[in-house]
Structure 1
Amino acid sequence: MKNENQKQGSNSRRNFIKASATALAGFYLVPRHVLGGPGFTAPSDKLRVAGIGVGGMGGNDIRGVFNSGKVDIVALCDVHDSRAKASVDAHTKATYYRDFREMLEKEHKNIDAVTISTPDHMHAVQTMAAMQLGKHVYVQKPLSHDIYEARMLTEAADKYKVVTQMGNQGSSGDGVRQMVEWYNAGLIGEATKVYCWTDRPVWPQGIPWPTTPATPPADLDWDLWLGTAPYRDYISNLVPFNWRGWWDYGTGALGDMACHIMEPPFRVLGLGYPKSAEASVGSVYVGEFQRGYFPESCPPSSHITLRFERPGKDDLEFHWMDGGIQPTRPIELGPNEVMGDGGNGVIIEGTKGKMMCGTYGMNPQLLPTSKTKEANVSQTEKRIEGGDRGHYNNWVDACIAGYGSAAFENLSSPFSIAGPLTESVLMGNLAIRSYDYREPRETGNGFNYPGRGIKLVWDGPNMRVTNFEPANQFVKRTYRDGWTL
């Protein structure tokens, strides 16, 4: 049953929208470094940062930017007080909020940039609200929960001219840059196939929504946590981790890991939108000789095949596998050599050879691995100081320098790159979820998944599946009343 908090939440949302509109009408925010014109020196050279979602990975993000030595943490926001405690204790001068809208309304004049490290279903509304106020943003992966959100955020970053970065730190690593140099030097020829895989999920997936509600933790604002998602009663063990396996909040193993693992081949091969997607998934047994597919939950395992069109070249075949599924070991890999990093990895097959890496593009190798030490190519890709550990500094430096600066051009994962990558990642989830509803039979759950038995043809510029209309319901989800992008 809906509680009184929901009514209060709706009023708060309406008040925030009115207040934000009034504020935006009264001033136009620009970076501090340009406020005084040429030669102006800001009162403080430090970037003023607020955090939305500051427990767990959000706490890591706050520490990461703060440890640059160039940041003051001025405001913190989290809907779960005990999860936020470590960050609050570490930054005692920062004002603490539960509602990000209240924080932005009250603090927008005091902050330059925002980190966002919340469940996937809240990324887009929080990021958009910050960008509309002229704030630079660092957003955890995946950039968004659905394809439409990713496109809107990518366009908004350019519109509002803010510095953006997604939290796939491997994009700042040396490994992916080494692979770019090998590929551009022709060491594996023209790429024909890509294989990416992960051992995730390590949280429950492929299960029905529990029928027994539970009491939310006393220090958790459940209505604010739900945010854009449909209202449901709280269930045990959903937070702080297991929400990843439910479509209302998370994006499954694909959303959790593909922005890390698919990024190296995307960068190496300069990929854009896929032209098609196919999906097959694992299922669970819910009774004798009966398999269960639960539309509320991500599947326990999946195999996605994307195809990318390349002008003047054959299509690239791109495979994603999760839930422990892995590609066949390359014949060039020794029987006792580790494929990828064991649980996760990437293999790019070319007309002249193959190369491989682990998560985040780490430990890149040519196959057979003996070729790695023999490779001698010029360094053409600029390295990020500190490699993947420099991902936060990469963003902080660009924020201080400003939109369009040399530091801005050196960003590892701005939305112009992270947006199309996220769209391709989520295209796999669209294929997984493409079902038709049917009347339940005596044995069956009322859902049929014909989209998994065909190739979904994708019109990237217009964000539409052209040959199976039911799939398009998953391009853009419907927010709960009171929430908009």
Structure 2
Amino acid sequence: MVQGKNNKRNQISRRSFLTNSATAAAGFMIVPRHVLGGPGYTAPSDRLRVAGIGVGGKGESDLSEISKGPADVTVLCDVHDSRAAGSVKRFPKAKYYRDYREMLDKEHKNIDAVTVSSPDHNHAVQAMAAMQLGKHVYVQKPLTHDIYEARMLTQAAKKYKVVTQMGNQGASGDGVRQLMEWYQAGLIGDVHTVYCWTNRPVWPQGIPWPTTPGTMPADLDWNLWLGTAPQKDFVDKLVPFNWRGWWDYGTGALGDMGCHIVEPPFRVLDLGYPVSAEASVGSVYVDEFKQGYFPESCPPSSHVIMTFETKRGPLKLHWMDGGIQPARPEELGPNERMGDGGNGAIFVGSKGKMMCGTYGMYPSLLPSTRNKEVDVKQTIARVPEGHYVQWVNACIAGYGKKQLSAPFEIAGPLTETILMGNLAIRSYDVRKPKADGKGFDYPGRYIKLLWDGPNMKITNFDEANQFVKRTYRNGWSLGK
């Protein structure tokens, strides 16, 4: 495990993250074209050649948005042919592969960049393989499945000097910039509490793994879909969406929505690693004497509290999912919408409050009448080209030439914070047999987990550290 340097608060700012982190393991790479030409070099073509890994559903929409910029989608890769059909039709000239490793081996000289929109558990290995070949990468949120993977990708982006962006498009929106300007102008004072919530999951969670194997689609390569995950039989309704509720593949409601909802406070407040986390989770009714225990499945609801040490003092961030919401602020009218309805974030400061919805949309000071009274000068540049085209333009310009909204330098630490919440949720269900052999104890419940962020380690409950880094299935690894 790569270790960084401790500081007094056991947390690290985004600005110092890459300086304090150790260098990732060396790996072979093919130097990208802009590096070959030296500073200021422009590729022979002013258009980016893009390969997509995971091109159905969200992957298709990602490629569609990217192609609105000066980019050509030249290669497609997916393990499920019928899911990829939309992209195949949209980009008829693109070559098609099932195995991303074969695709990179055969096409690396013909592409400049790669998008990754596969299930969470394969993000890291696919992105790392592309980066080690000097390819720029756009990776859907959450950046990775595990904290360790996020750290490795963040270091790799700097090592291989590639342009990176995570798919949390709200990071390029006007809303989060408006919130930053309000906060920097001192309108709500020093924030000490943040509430984030979502109405997700909208897929099954808190359920037992099916005991009956399913009927596998003839056009699905199950072995490649499993990738890094443990070997299991295919079960019905797992693909293309319900995998999100299983820890082997997904990251639950927090992993799915946290990068959209926690991102505004993370950016506005310049948060680093949390120093502690505690969680409570909803349970499933089995019968009148028993609650469900299904540790393979994410819980149906959860409430996580993470504590940060900031320059302005300690701060607590509450995460709630499964329909749980915080109390309505007194400053919010009885018929006014909180957040965007099902999702949102509330900032509680020493002088006032502000609120937003998913992606930082609908920013509002509270009470809402303040929005008409306050006129804060715009100090932060907007992103008129949008999240996707911003990345395309930055890739064409070359590493370090253009500013991005969610490069791994920022997206990596944000993802680690999100996954720290999941670590607390998973620790809740760690169980051990009681000494008398009658039943189980749950030592991870009702405690506060203390987190050494630079060293990626829980210091007071070692059983929780199993969730920092997975063991991949034989034949799969994170780079060379």
Letter in 1 for 2:432: R
Aligned pairs for 1:180-329 within 5 A: 180-311=180-311, 313-329=312-328
Letter in 1 for 2:188: I
The equivalent of 2:54 in structure 1 is: 53
The equivalent of 1:121 in structure 2 is: 121
Give me the whole-angstrom Cα distance separating, in 2, the residues matched to 1:443 and 1:111.
59
Aligned pairs for 1:317-466 within 5 A: 317-386=316-385, 390-405=386-401, 407=402, 410-434=403-427, 435-439=429-433, 448-466=441-459
Aligned residue pairs total 451
- Displacement of 1:35 in angstroms is 3.2
Question: Could you state the TM-score of these two structures normalised by the residue count of structure 1?
Answer: 0.90
CA contact (8 A) 2:43 2:396 kept: no
CA contact (8 A) 1:54 1:78 kept: yes
CA contact (8 A) 2:432 2:442 kept: no
Secondary structure of the 2:102 match is helix
CA contact (8 A) 1:431 1:452 kept: no
CA contact (8 A) 1:295 1:447 kept: no
CA contact (8 A) 2:42 2:397 kept: no
CA contact (8 A) 1:436 1:447 kept: no
Give me the whole-angstrom Cα distance separating, in 1, the residues matched to 2:180 and 2:459.
33
Higher relative contact order (CA 8 A, sep 6+): 2
Give me the whole-angstrom Cα distance separating, in 2, the residues matched to 1:205 and 1:158.
37
Secondary structure of the 1:319 match is strand
Secondary structure of the 1:346 match is strand
- Displacement of 1:290 in angstroms is 1.1
Aligned pairs for 1:147-162 within 5 A: 147-162=147-162
- Displacement of 1:67 in angstroms is 1.4
Give me the whole-angstrom Cα distance separating, in 1, the residues matched to 2:255 and 2:64.
24
Letter in 2 for 1:310: T
- Displacement of 1:249 in angstroms is 0.2
Deviations 1:391-414 (CA, angstroms, capped at 9, x unpaired): 101100110111111x2xx20000
Letter in 2 for 1:399: C
- Displacement of 1:310 in angstroms is 1.6
Question: Could you state the TM-score of these two structures normalised by the residue count of structure 2?
Answer: 0.91
Secondary structure of the 2:338 match is coil
Give me the whole-angstrom Cα distance separating, in 1, the residues matched to 2:453 and 2:41.
44
Letter in 2 for 1:367: L
Give me the whole-angstrom Cα distance separating, in 1, the residues matched to 2:43 and 2:410.
30
Give me the whole-angstrom Cα distance separating, in 2, the residues matched to 1:141 and 1:230.
22
Give me the whole-angstrom Cα distance separating, in 2, the residues matched to 1:448 and 1:255.
27
- Displacement of 1:441 in angstroms is 12
Secondary structure of the 1:480 match is coil
The equivalent of 2:7 in structure 1 is: none
Name the CA shift for 1:233/1:152 in 2 (closer, same or farther; >3 Å): same
CA contact (8 A) 2:205 2:246 kept: yes
Give me the whole-angstrom Cα distance separating, in 2, the residues matched to 1:142 and 1:447.
33
Name the CA shift for 1:42/1:470 in 2 (closer, same or farther; >3 Å): closer
Instruction: Identify the range of structure 1 (124-133 vs 35-44) with the bigger mean alpha-carbon deviation.
Output: 35-44
Letter in 1 for 2:359: Y
CA contact (8 A) 1:54 1:117 kept: yes
Secondary structure of the 1:450 match is coil
Letter in 2 for 1:470: E
- Displacement of 1:60 in angstroms is 0.5
- Displacement of 1:72 in angstroms is 1.1
The equivalent of 1:21 in structure 2 is: none
Name the CA shift for 1:378/1:40 in 2 (closer, same or farther; >3 Å): closer
Give me the whole-angstrom Cα distance separating, in 2, the residues matched to 1:369 and 1:175.
15
- Displacement of 1:450 in angstroms is 2.5
Give me the whole-angstrom Cα distance separating, in 1, the residues matched to 2:340 and 2:49.
38
Give me the whole-angstrom Cα distance separating, in 1, the residues matched to 2:419 and 2:40.
45
Which segments of 5 or more consecutive residues in structure 1 lack a partner in the other structure? 1-23
Aligned pairs for 1:474-485 within 5 A: 474-485=467-478
- Displacement of 1:438 in angstroms is 2.9
Give me the whole-angstrom Cα distance separating, in 2, the residues matched to 1:342 and 1:332.
16
- Displacement of 1:37 in angstroms is 4.5
| Bigger proportion of residues as helix | 1
Name the CA shift for 1:38/1:436 in 2 (closer, same or farther; >3 Å): closer
Name the CA shift for 1:41/1:357 in 2 (closer, same or farther; >3 Å): closer
Name the CA shift for 1:324/1:153 in 2 (closer, same or farther; >3 Å): same
Which segments of 5 or more consecutive residues in structure 2 lack a partner in the other structure? 1-26
Give me the whole-angstrom Cα distance separating, in 1, the residues matched to 2:97 and 2:379.
45
- Displacement of 1:215 in angstroms is 2.0
Secondary structure of the 2:355 match is strand
Letter in 2 for 1:193: T
Secondary structure of the 1:109 match is helix
CA contact (8 A) 2:433 2:441 kept: no
- Displacement of 1:44 in angstroms is 1.4
Letter in 1 for 2:388: Y
Deviations 1:55-86 (CA, angstroms, capped at 9, x unpaired): 00000011011111x11111100000000011
Secondary structure of the 1:256 match is helix
- Displacement of 1:292 in angstroms is 0.9
Instruction: Identify the range of structure 1 (207-216 vs 177-186) with the bigger mean alpha-carbon deviation.
Output: 207-216
CA contact (8 A) 1:433 1:449 kept: no
The equivalent of 1:82 in structure 2 is: 82
Name the CA shift for 1:74/1:160 in 2 (closer, same or farther; >3 Å): same
Letter in 1 for 2:164: T
Letter in 1 for 2:253: A
Letter in 2 for 1:332: E
Give me the whole-angstrom Cα distance separating, in 2, the residues matched to 1:39 and 1:357.
39
CA contact (8 A) 2:31 2:133 kept: no
The equivalent of 2:20 in structure 1 is: none
Name the CA shift for 1:447/1:298 in 2 (closer, same or farther; >3 Å): farther
